[in-house]
Structure 1
Amino acid sequence: MNQIAQKGRLGFFLRRMLGLGSAIVIFLTAAQLFAHRHQRFYPDYPMADLSSILEKDRLSEADYETLFLQTGLGKAGVEELRSLGEAGEQQILDTQAAFFAKTATDCGSLGPTTREDHVVDENGNIIYGCPMAPMEDGDVFLAFSTHTLGWRHGHAGLVVDAARGITLEAVLIGSDSATANASHWSYYSNFIHLRLKDITPQEQQAIADYAMEHLNGIPYHLTSGVLSWEKAPDPDSPGFGAQCAYLVWYALYQAGYDTDSDGGRIVTVGDLAESPLFEIVQVYGLDPRSFG
């Protein structure tokens, strides 16, 4: 009787574990499907001939709006490329082609529950999605290609050495913030390149220098700015750390720019994207009409 009871309990336990495992698989599958429902924007309007605009010496606001919708390049990005002459104008056209191109994407693992969507070729190799506009120190990169359990929270990085194309980023729990090659942002299925409005070169350099001195090599803290008495505690205080969006916000906040658009204790990629203190240099894989 005891053996029968033990077998019954074992069978019940195995059924429970099987049911739990099935529920986890269903949940993770549903989460991935939910996360990928809007992973990449493709224009629902026709591709236009930009030659008549690009041959002008001075552009109107209507011209900038057309270029933004056609290429994802904001006014700052357009003017920097136009200053490069024929090579810059060709990059504008190449950016337009990439903006309208139907690309394949792959969802790669970044950890046990976190994944990232990248642009891939026909063989599944990660490739650049589009040309990147020139960057400056203190610029910000955002992407909504990173997701955890269905939540597309995104990622953020700060340009700390524009000449070498280097960003500072907090990437994963268990790892310290570190520098990376900024070109990897073009691997994502989408990204936003932002710049503070009316910022001076001196301020840009100061932001980059501060970030490298105080925010490089700090622990990843998901609750940064939440559990401390202050939203922006001293970076040398015990337990100081940052998640990606908080790191960017903190560096800019120290320079007098509060880019947390909703003013809460938690700084998200979405908060940064909606800050009125930024101008758009470039967007890729996202609807330009979403940015007023």
Structure 2
Amino acid sequence: MRFFVRRLGVLCYRLLGVAAAVILFLTAAQLFAHRHAQFYPDYPMTDLSAIPEQDRLSEEDYETLFLQTGLGKAGVDDLLSLGQPGKDQILDTQTAFFAKTATDCGSLGITTREDHVVDGDGNITYACPMAPVEEGDVFLSFSTHTLGWRHGHAGVVVDAANGRTLEAVLIGYDAATASVSHWSCYSTFLHLRVKDITPEEQEAIADYAMAHLDGVPYHLTSGVLGPDKVQDPDADSFGAQCAYLVWYALYQGAGYDTDSDGGRIVTVGDLAESPLFEIVQVYGLDPRSFG
């Protein structure tokens, strides 16, 4: 009897050791993730008021606006086309781009978390004004992390007029539309648009996404299993994780292969590095990283 008691005691100590090791690992992973969180400009804020008032902007003007606001040329032009409200928004975006914000790391499960901007009461709030969106635009964020790895999240605009994106969010949930405004609640986001895309192609991407990808189940291994990376959307086994869904919509809808490394696995990082995209807006990430 004593033998079994001793063996049970040893087993309990070992289990406690394993549990402690797991807790230590998860804690260290979260601390590592937060070391690579939101970027704040390490350069001075300058007066931009004269730039939007010019009849024509130079490349130097666009570069200055990008570093000061996170707005790319496409985002600046879209706002300038709105007249004075757009000019005012450019200046408001600069203020938000330089502002220090509080963030909350909310749980999406046992190991996955997301960083959101919060107000003084701890409520999730908007980080900055958002540039206008168009069908087929892509949103990325690196605020989602699992065990210290900032794999991020992705979505594609399917209804610009009503501000809706299609997203595959989490294992156990089907792809669904969400408000585009929620991307501004993340501590980081990247708004992209395919260079020189036509309105017809933008509409085709949105139509294809809603016809074939809305409601598909979340599959972490999408594009990996099976004979072909481009899987049959009508097959019972079809599913998509967030980055694959975005890549698939652009590829099948308008023929744009935005997977920068061409591998079977499509990641948020692969989309972010695609040379087919131009930046509309970046927030919480260093603009100098996107040369």
Does the TM-score normalized on the shorter chain lie above 0.5? yes
Distance 2:137 2:100 in 1: 28
Distance 1:50 1:19 in 2: 57
Match of 2:288, SS?
helix
Deviation at 1:100, TM superposition (A): 0.1
Name segments (4+ residues, structure 1) moved above 4 Å: none
| 1:198-226 C-alpha deviation (Å, 9 max, x unpaired) | 11111101110000000000010111101
Q: Which residue of 1 aligns with 2:194?
A: 196
1:275 alignment partner in structure 2: 274
1:143 to 124, 128, 141: 141
Per the alignment, residue 172 of structure 2 pairs with 174
Residues 125, 185 of structure 2: 8 Å contact kept: yes
Q: Distance in 1 between matches of 2:49 and 2:87?
A: 9
Structure 1 residue 23 corresponds to structure 2 residue 21: yes
Equivalent residues in 2 for 1:40-189, closer than 5 Å: 40-189=38-187
How far did residue 153 of structure 1 move? Answer: 0.0
Q: Distance in 2 between matches of 1:112 and 1:173?
A: 12
Residues matched between the structures, number: 290
**Matched residue type, 1:67:** L
| TM-score under structure 2 length normalisation | 0.99
Amino acid at match of 1:271: D
Shift of 1:17: 1.2
Which range is displaced more, 232-241 or 131-140?
Answer: 232-241
Equivalent position amino acid for 1:46 in 2: P
Query: 2:285 maps to what in 1?
Result: 286
SS of match in other structure, 1:51: coil
Inter-partner Cα distance in structure 1 for 2:231 and 2:117: 38
- 1:155 positional shift: 0.1
For 2:234 and 2:110, the matched residues in 1 are separated by 31
| Separation in structure 1 between the aligned mates of residue 36 and residue 67 of structure 2, nearest angstrom | 19
Q: CA deviation at 1:238?
A: 3.0
Amino acid at match of 1:265: R
Ranges in structure 2 where 5+ consecutive residues have no aligned partner: none
Q: Distance in 1 between matches of 2:174 and 2:266?
A: 18
The answer (yes or no) to whether the contact 2:49–2:91 under 8 Å persists in 1 is no
Instruction: Indicate which of 227, 232, 235 corresponds to 1:237.
Output: 235
Partners of 2:214 and 2:289 in 1: how far apart? 32
| 8 A contact 2:157–2:165 mirrored in 1 | yes
Percentage identity across aligned positions?
A: 78
For the residues of structure 2 that align with 1:128 and 1:228, how far apart are their CA atoms? 41
**Residue by residue, what CA displacement relative to the aligned partner does 1:169-211 show, whole Å, maximum 9, x if unpaired?**
0000111100001110000000000000111111101110000
